[in-house]
Chains A and B, each alone.
Chain A
């Protein structure tokens, strides 16, 4: 059973639109959540971390966490073609280890 689930996509949005990426997780005790961006052939790049219920904004990015519903999302405002990448959701399953459990990623395509 996959512990972190993401829709594989591709999610296609026009340039300037809001891209909404979603992630659900199975472990109720997960405490920390992260969004990584991975361009094709490159390594994952940390773009957002969120630890508390609610919204966290950083520039064009907003992460949203709802622990009761066990989902975390990433909104990208004013999407740009350069945002086209795979977005990986990761959770720090609080089982005493600090390793991250990743979803399979959602591929985002921003159409010019």
Chain B
């Protein structure tokens, strides 16, 4: 079956522009997570969803960052008025989430979107 997909894989933008990063989770996965990963570091949490509900956005750096998952499947992370410090690898992951067997939080990552802000 298909894994997590993300698009675009690479995005180069100019400072001040808005960008939208897309994530398509594994089919049937309830939970979807956004992380940001700097070189030489582990992924850092941004926000996550169960179905269409945003459960936690405490990792979003500031109000220029927002995310949505309107139909409980595909999610979009939007960064408004991009700044050079936003340049990073943005990773999406999904997990089965809550099921009859309990909570399954094994998270599977997509290939990531490399964002470069000039």
Given contacts A43-B111, A46-B106, A97-B56, contact A102 B95 (CB under 8 A): no
Neighbouring B residues of A100 by C-beta, 8 Å? 33, 43, 45, 105, 107
Given contacts A43-B91, A43-B109, contact A105 B103 (CB under 8 A): no
B-to-A contact residues, CB < 8 Å: 31, 33, 40-45, 48, 55-56, 58-59, 91, 95, 97, 103, 105-112
Does residue A34 face the partner (Cβ distance < 8 Å to B)?
Answer: yes
How close is B34's CB to chain A, nearest CB, in angstroms?
A: 9
SS of A interface (majority): strand
The chain B residue with its CB closest to the CB of A44 is B109
How close is B108's CB to chain A, nearest CB, in angstroms?
A: 6
A-to-B contact residues, CB < 8 Å: 4, 8, 32, 34, 36, 42-46, 49, 88, 90, 92, 97-105
Q: How far is the CA of A65 from the CA of B111 in the complex (A)?
A: 29
Neighbouring A residues of B56 by C-beta, 8 Å? 97, 99
Tell me whether A104 and B40 are in contact (CB under 8 A).
Answer: yes
The chain A residue with its CB closest to the CB of B103 is A98
The chain A residue with its CB closest to the CB of B46 is A99
Neighbouring B residues of A32 by C-beta, 8 Å? 105
22 inter-chain pairs at a CB distance below 8 angstroms, sorted by A residue, are A32-B105, A34-B106, A34-B107, A42-B111, A43-B91, A43-B110, A43-B111, A43-B112, A45-B109, A46-B107, A46-B108, A98-B48, A98-B55, A99-B48, A99-B59, A100-B45, A100-B105, A102-B42, A102-B43, A104-B42, A105-B40, A105-B42
